[in-house]
Amino acid sequence: MPEFRLRPWISCYNMPELPEVETIRRELSPLLVGKQIAKVKVLWPKTVVPLTSKQFSTKLRGQQIVSVTRRAKILIIKLSGPWSLVFHLKMTGQLIYQPTIGGTDNLPNQFTRLVITFTDASQLFFNDLRKFGWARLVLDEHLALLTNPYGPEPLSAKFTAHFLQELFLRYPNRTVKQILMDQSLIAGLGNIYADEACFLAGVLPIRQAKTLNRPQTEKLHQAIVAVLKLSIKKKGTSTRNYVRSSGRPGGFVAHLKVYGQAKAPCKVCQTPIIKIKHLGRGTHYCPRCQQ
């Protein structure tokens, strides 16, 4: 089972964020585009609501994969019919591709919710331990309803230092972390990359937005872009549940500076990293490097 092939580096779940979903997208795209779906097996019917397992399987059968794209943390597989197959991995979802039936990962396993078999006998498994993830068939004309509520992509031209400054002016009393993690303001940032970007910028995540001056905001903007780009390059952060589409872990764990490092010495100043609860989420920072 892929999860247990990973070393338990860090004892908390990491929800897939932008770099993890983007890694899966980049890996799946060349593997899936052009393939035709032969068979779909739904092992946990709630994964595909509002459709029934039978409706879902029937609509997918015979469909060809046209493209694999991403918006925020949502993976969008465009089909030859007027639909897209959309996945949200939520907390513990995994999409694992196997080129042949009966590969080395012993899939399906007890956490497999959905199996898609292609006409060349390759398979895509959707595993989800906590069962919060979902797969939906969305009509092309409804896709915008699903993706419009999200703020701009942080790696797009729309996300500028000026844009971040405007957000901080609009919500002066919110904390920096609260703004960074609000999906309607910026898409795809979660707990790991909000904490890591704040460390890189030397900014306390629990500071109120109005207390940041322009250079600090600019530094934070640069840090967000840098941390996301590096993580995509390293194929994401694997702690307990995220694995790449091949079932292998991502390599960003070695680059984490504060996330999951509570009590460990800061990599810059040796002061123990502090972990607090902020907005119900574990929040990590260096009390000396971050102000």
Catalytic residues: 16-17, 73, 281
Q: How far is the CB of 269 from Zn ion (least distance, A)?
A: 3
Nearer to Zn ion, 76 or 266 (CB): 266
Nearer to Zn ion, 116 or 192 (CB): 192
Rounded distance between C-alpha atoms, residue 176 and residue 186, angstroms: 12
Nearer to Zn ion, 6 or 201 (CB): 201
- Joined tokens for residue 24: 């899966």
Nearest 5°: the CA angle 274, 289, 282 is: 30
Q: How far is the CB of 229 from Zn ion (least distance, A)?
A: 23
Nearest residue to Zn ion by CB is 266
Nearer to Zn ion, 152 or 272 (CB): 272
CA-nearest of 248, 261, 257, 272 to 226 is: 257
Instruction: Summarize as ranges the residues that interact with Zn ion (CB under 5 A).
Output: 266, 268-269, 271, 286, 288-289
Residue 167, by phi and psi: left (phi above 0), alpha (psi -120 to 50) or beta? alpha
Which residue(s) pair with 175 in the sheet? Answer: 208
CA-nearest of 244, 240, 252 to 4 is: 240
Q: How far is the CB of 271 from Zn ion (least distance, A)?
A: 5
Q: How far is the CB of 202 from Zn ion (least distance, A)?
A: 9
Residue 202, by phi and psi: left (phi above 0), alpha (psi -120 to 50) or beta? left
DSSP string, 243-260: --TTSPPPBGGGG-SSTT
